[in-house]
Amino acid sequence: MDKMIIEGGEKLKGTVEISGAKNAALPILVSSLLCEGRSTFHNVPELMDIKTVVKLIRGFGAEVKGAKSIRVDADRLDNVEASYDLVKTMRASVLVLGPLVARMGRARVSLPGGCAIGARPVNLHLKALEEMGAEVTLQDGYIEAKASRLRGATIYFDIQTVTGTENIMMAACLAKGTTVLKNAAKEPEIVNLAEVLKAMGARITGAGTETITIEGVDRMTGAEGTVMPDRIEAGTYMIGAAITGGDVNVLGCDPLYVDALITKLIDAGITVETIPRGVRVCGGNGIRSIDIKTMPYPGFPTDLQAQMMVLLAVGNGLGVVTETVFENRFMHVAELIRMGADIIVQGGCAIVKGVPALKGAPVMATDLRASACLVLAGLVAEGKTELSRIYHLDRGYQRMEEKFSALGARIRRVPA
Ligand code: UD1
């Protein structure tokens, strides 16, 4: 298993181009299962999670070709089972449930287990499918769902769920009648997916708001779609520039998508300006401690909480990080403390007292965003940081070490 070796202390300088968003590409690739004919998707990031979803789709009998532009021909599907082996490596595999039941009348998908950031149930996905007439049972660790044809329904989500909204929005496309999703998640990735579904013949209004209306159609046909830029990847490089006192142009991501982060960086005394195709982030005038609270979009994203904690860890003063989306998303704290950070966790809050400097150390990644946090900590720390279990990073960041190296960081991947 590879390791990342980081020698901290370099100010990041230059330009970084943001790749396509993992969290948009996954549901978009899955949406091809709803369609007769061929779909082509552009700007797909090259990531482990994309390889996993491609395997999953191939397993149902679809033909899949290409990398950055991926062609899927799902004309003939001959299997409706997503095995434990695939689902356990990527929880988002549950996204195939809705489309398979809608198109094939049946699906058998391994129930995702817990993960490093909490229990993460899928009860709301299942309840919504039942409300649309599916018979849902749990057997031998698998979710089995059946419906000769799903029917439109009004679904109220108790909690805003991103993949839950996407799963049911896809299922509703081929249902009989109209489905209304209330308290739907509003993430831009959902809007991106809805645009692709509409190009395939779906009738959807309201994506990006709390109420999404889908009028079912009898069939959908393959179409072209483009994956939006990865706002979490963009945010990670923006925070990198801020904490190292650097000057980085982050290109290819609409600043609107990282609005909450921009506001917080400015509050912390970082200079952020809009430039053509992106933002320029300059640090160097000290970091004021700030408080952050994670919320569903357009609030501060939980997927940037760990990375932002590094900024607070080297800021001046005391900041509070409140995590409201996942119950156990502070796994990175213990590792940051090993690097000299001063952090106390109390329930859903982390109290971070800035220290003059972090110190390099051997650390271990526990999940995707925690890994990104530890890379950032390594970049700003004095001395050498050795990050192991970096397969988490490869799930969600395209060639991270190359992008950071091009900005002047001393970071390299070595076989362990
Ligand atoms: C998605 C993102 C993930 C991000 C998260 C929150 C993808 C592939 N992943 O994950 O990167 O961190 O949104 O922005 O897009 N919940 C339930 N029951 C359910 C579903 C969710 O209780 O049936 C709870 C979850 O435990 C969590 C909250 O709802 O506390 C939000 O989770 P959700 O939006 O569903 O996260 P994911 O879609 O899994």
pLDDT tens track for 36-59: 999 999 999 999 999 999 999 999
Ligand 1 nearest-atom number relative to CA 159? 29
Contact 44, 54 (CB under 8 A): no
Confidence of residue 284 (pLDDT cuts 50, 70, 90): confident
Least confident of 82-96, 172-186, 212-226: 82-96
The residues, any chain, with a CB within 8 Å of residue 384's CB and separated by 6 or more, are 5, 6, 7, 8, 360
Confidence of residue 319 (pLDDT cuts 50, 70, 90): very high
Q: Give me the number of domains the chain comprises.
A: 2
- Among 226, 247, 265, the domain boundary falls at 226
Identify whether residues 10 and 125 lie together within a single domain: no
* Predicted local confidence at residue 285, as pLDDT: 86
Residue of higher predicted confidence among 116 and 149: 149
Identify whether residues 263 and 373 lie together within a single domain: yes
Q: Which domain holds residue 370?
A: 2-19+229-415
- Among 210, 226, 242, the domain boundary falls at 226
Contact 86, 59 (CB under 8 A): yes
Ligand 1, from 325, 331, 369: best to mutate by most atoms within 8 Å of Cβ?
325
User: Mean pLDDT, to the nearest integer, of 317-332?
Assistant: 93
Question: Which protein residue has the closest C-alpha to ligand 1 atom 20?
Answer: 122
Question: Which protein residue has the closest C-alpha to ligand 1 atom 31?
Answer: 161
Confidence of residue 353 (pLDDT cuts 50, 70, 90): very high
Q: How far is the CA of 224 from the centre of ligand 1 (A)?
A: 27
Identify whether residues 218 and 237 lie together within a single domain: no
Ligand 1: residues with CB < 6 A are 23, 26, 92, 118, 120-125, 159, 161-164, 185, 302-303, 325-326
> What separation in angstroms does the CA of 143 have from each of 76, 104, 137, 205?
23, 15, 6, 29
Identify whether residues 296 and 156 lie together within a single domain: no
Residue 10 sits in a domain of what CATH number? 3.65.10.10
Question: Which protein residue has the closest C-alpha to ligand 1 atom 22?
Answer: 121
The residues, any chain, with a CB within 8 Å of residue 282's CB and separated by 6 or more, are 241, 246, 247, 270, 271, 272
* Predicted local confidence at residue 271, as pLDDT: 97
Identify whether residues 241 and 358 lie together within a single domain: yes
Q: What angle do CA 377, 382, 385 make, to 5 degrees?
A: 55
Identify whether residues 60 and 163 lie together within a single domain: yes
Q: How far apart, in whole angstroms, are the C-alpha atoms of residue 15 and residue 12?
A: 9
Identify whether residues 233 and 219 lie together within a single domain: no
* Predicted local confidence at residue 114, as pLDDT: 56
Ligand 1 nearest-atom number relative to CA 325? 30
Q: Which of the following is catalytic: 35, 115, 349, 373? A: 115
User: Mean pLDDT, to the nearest integer, of 253-282?
Assistant: 97
Q: How far is the CA of 287 from the centre of ligand 1 (A)?
A: 31
Identify whether residues 195 and 332 lie together within a single domain: no
Whether the predicted pLDDT of 116 surpasses 90: no
Q: How far is the CA of 122 from the centre of ligand 1 (A)?
A: 9
Identify whether residues 368 and 239 lie together within a single domain: yes
> What separation in angstroms does the CA of 377 have from each of 10, 41, 350, 404?
12, 35, 17, 13
- Note if 373 is an active site residue: no
Question: Which protein residue has the closest C-alpha to ligand 1 atom 34?
Answer: 161
Confidence of residue 209 (pLDDT cuts 50, 70, 90): very high
Q: How far apart, in whole angstroms, are the C-alpha atoms of residue 108 and residue 145?
A: 7
Ligand 1 nearest-atom number relative to CA 232? 11
Identify whether residues 187 and 284 lie together within a single domain: no
- Among 226, 247, 282, the domain boundary falls at 226
Identify whether residues 157 and 216 lie together within a single domain: yes
- In tens, the pLDDT along 166-204 reads 999 999 999 999 999 999 999 999 999 999 999 999 999
Question: Which protein residue has the closest C-alpha to ligand 1 atom 29?
Answer: 161
Q: How far apart, in whole angstroms, are the C-alpha atoms of residue 395 and residue 368?
A: 7
Confidence of residue 117 (pLDDT cuts 50, 70, 90): low
Q: How far is the CA of 304 from the centre of ligand 1 (A)?
A: 14
Q: How far is the CA of 271 from the centre of ligand 1 (A)?
A: 32
Identify whether residues 51 and 168 lie together within a single domain: yes
pTM of the model as a whole? 0.97
